[in-house]
Structure 1
């Protein structure tokens, strides 16, 4: 029996592994969303820094602020499954017509989900939609820097055909039916699970992915970023104005 997805619902999947210092900013940005119909799925990947305990306390403290219709669900994995395992577990729990990715150390513009849903509703051929974003150093959120590596429209498929990358994974929203059809992230390319997932979504010869040109996401640079473990300097940091 196929999954009956909830029309209009955005399922926001957040994986958390030792992100305690950043969780307040991330979660508050979700409370501030203008889009009214969402659920958050928090997957704690066996954190050891108190992240899970913080999330539970935050939920208790903010319960009055969670407007009617919101759902926030937490799952604590019994052992560290890695990013691909954790985010795919969250996607399995997602009930929404749309699934959005949010990194635990970043935050989203209040209009992010409203504008992505509007675009996807108006462009039924688009399966996955990213957004423009800005970068800031941890501790200096007021010093935002633009990026210049994203592509738009027909250029996106051409970049991925050549093995390139031009959608910021943390900004992605995609139709739940995409996950139903192709599944989630895999461990085949460790450290580049985000690239592989987006490349897997793109249909050969079809323009079914896009980026919004509006800045709707804010990416935090800090020494404990997972991408630094694999690439030293994350792709998302390479092409912004210094």
Structure 2
């Protein structure tokens, strides 16, 4: 039986591991969205820093500013299960018609959710849509560089068919029914879980596209997870 999802609601799924220094800015960027029908599902993967305390303090300070009946769920896992396990947990807990990924060390443009919801509503054949983004260094946040590896339209399926990657994980918004159909990433491919999810969706005949507008800000820093696999994320 298909999961009953809330029409129009965007479930913003944030996975976190030891990002206390950045998580407040991440959460602020969702609170400031022009699209107001959202919930936040924050999954902390057994952080050893003050991430959970910072997130809960942020919630206490800002809950009164939430539009409508919006809610923030902060779920601290009892042990570290890795990125795939954490994001699957968040996706399972989501209630929205749409699910938006968000990395806890990055932040979103204020128009991100509205642009992506508008796109999915006006393109019913599309199951998942990403966006372009700006990358910046924590040391020089004023210097932002537009990503050049993002692809569009039919080129996306061609790239993944050749084993390539051209959709930024943190920018993805997809219909909740897509996750209900194909599930999330497995724990078999350490460091390429985002690639695996897109490839799985395409193999299930899902249609994927990107919005050319840069609606996300990707932070480059020494402790970032992808630094273990790539020096830069296609920038």
Structure 1 window deviating more from structure 2 (184-193 vs 94-103): it is 184-193
Give per-residue Cα distances to partners, 1:204-233, cap 9 Å, x unaligned.
Answer: 7x571000000100000000011112x241
Distance in 1 (CA, whole Å) between partners of 2:52 and 2:150 is 33
Distance in 2 (CA, whole Å) between partners of 1:35 and 1:183 is 26
Q: Which runs of 4+ in 1 moved over 3 A?
A: none
Helix, strand or coil for the counterpart of 2:142?
A: coil
Aligned pair count?
235
Q: By how many angstroms is 1:196 displaced?
A: 0.3
1:218-233 correspondence to structure 2 within 5 Å: 218-229=217-228, 231-233=229-231
Specify the alignment match of 1:158 in structure 2.
Answer: 158
Q: Tell me the TM-score normalised to structure 2 length.
A: 0.97
1:47-196 correspondence to structure 2 within 5 Å: 47-196=47-196
Distance in 2 (CA, whole Å) between partners of 1:111 and 1:185 is 27
Q: Tell me the TM-score normalised to structure 1 length.
A: 0.94
Would the alpha carbon gap of residues 167 and 74 (structure 1) be closer, same or farther in structure 2, given more than 3 Å must change? same
Helix, strand or coil for the counterpart of 2:114?
A: helix
Give per-residue Cα distances to partners, 1:123-151, cap 9 Å, x unaligned.
Answer: 11101100010110004222111111110
The answer (yes or no) to whether the contact 1:154–1:207 under 8 Å persists in 2 is: no
Q: By how many angstroms is 1:203 displaced?
A: 3.9
Distance in 2 (CA, whole Å) between partners of 1:3 and 1:232 is 36
The answer (yes or no) to whether the contact 1:157–1:207 under 8 Å persists in 2 is: no
Q: By how many angstroms is 1:172 displaced?
A: 0.2
Structure 1 window deviating more from structure 2 (135-144 vs 145-154): it is 135-144
Q: By how many angstroms is 1:69 displaced?
A: 2.1
Which structure 1 residue ranges, 5 or more long, are not aligned?
A: none
